Amino acid sequence: MKKIQGIFLDWAGTTVDYGCMAPVESFVKIFEEKGIQVTMDETREPMGMAKIDHIRTMLEMPSIRKQWQGELTEKDVCELNERFEACLFESLDEYTDPVPGAVEAVETLREMGLVIGTTTGYTREMIDIVRAGAAEKCYVPDVTVTADDVDAGRPYPWMMYYAAMKLGVYPMNRVVKVGDTTVDMEEGRNAGAWTVGLIYGSSELGLSIEEVSHLTEDERAIREADVREKLMAAGAHTVLLSISELPAFIRELDRILSEKEESSWSVLSF
């Protein structure tokens, strides 16, 4: 690699937990306990944020706020977050399997001389559980940064800056951010990094491996187009079908950048 130095990956929905299923059930449950019905779209829309910010964002949605009984306070938000964490910790260790192709893709990227950083919407306590489970299945990134480590999580770029500092990579246009949510795309662009979205396994797609296997060819095409449109609108420079395509894309990106005197996204078209 002549230009690209590091790959910064998201966790759930990108490298582990196909479909980003672990948090969804817990979010739905804590709202149901308050007598509030939430949709899958509402639950997944803020995915990728720090979990307490995810809850705040959901509570700002008109249809959810309308169902809330009485005045909404920060104490309510904190209590919901505590309940969410309790629910999530009951099953989080069951959602640590790497998505298909992730381990192989990361191995190839390392062979290409790249360092592997990660950022996440999980807290440090949550990601420690996920990291331990993923490590048993051969996925071990070089650095993991959470919103606990910085002043604010996504869409702010601070986690990426901190990861870059820990890994010693700069400037940020030598970094590629890879994720599965719109807020991942915003984080990457806000950091000044090349930003790549993934379709299969993503929270935006929101399907399990089994559900994907039952899609018809037409259904696949429709869903792929929908996810691609959302991620591109949020700032992705390109959107790949799966993480397995990432090493080939990085090679091509590095080749193009190496042929340009200045690394500017305005000169590229993906």
User: Binding site membership for Mg(2+): which residues?
Assistant: 10, 12, 180
**Exactly one of 3, 17, 34, 51 is catalytic; which is it?**
51
Cα 106 from Cα 9, distance rounded (Å):
10
Are residues 186 and 154 in contact, defined by beta-carbon separation less than 8 angstroms?
A: yes
Residue appearing with tokens 């995810």: 54
* Residue type present at position 53: D
Q: Would you call 16 helix, strand, or coil by DSSP? A: strand
Q: If 0-12 CB within 10 Å is exposed, 13-18 middle and 19+ buried, where does residue 104 land?
A: middle
Secondary structure (DSSP) of 123-169: -HHHHHHHHHHHHHTT---SEEEEGGGSS--TTSSHHHHHHHHHHT-
**What pairing do the DSSP bridges indicate for beta strands 143-146 and 238-240?**
unpaired
Q: Would you call 38 helix, strand, or coil by DSSP? A: coil
Local structure of residue 98 (DSSP, 8 states): B
Examine the residue annotation and report whether 10 is marked as an active-site residue of this protein: yes
Q: What is the Cα 157 distance to its own chain's centre?
A: 13
- 32: number of Cβ within 10 Å: 11
Q: Would you call 9 helix, strand, or coil by DSSP? A: strand
Examine the residue annotation and report whether 51 is marked as an active-site residue of this protein: yes
**Exactly one of 2, 3, 10, 218 is catalytic; which is it?**
10
Looking at the annotation, which residues are catalytic?
A: 10, 51
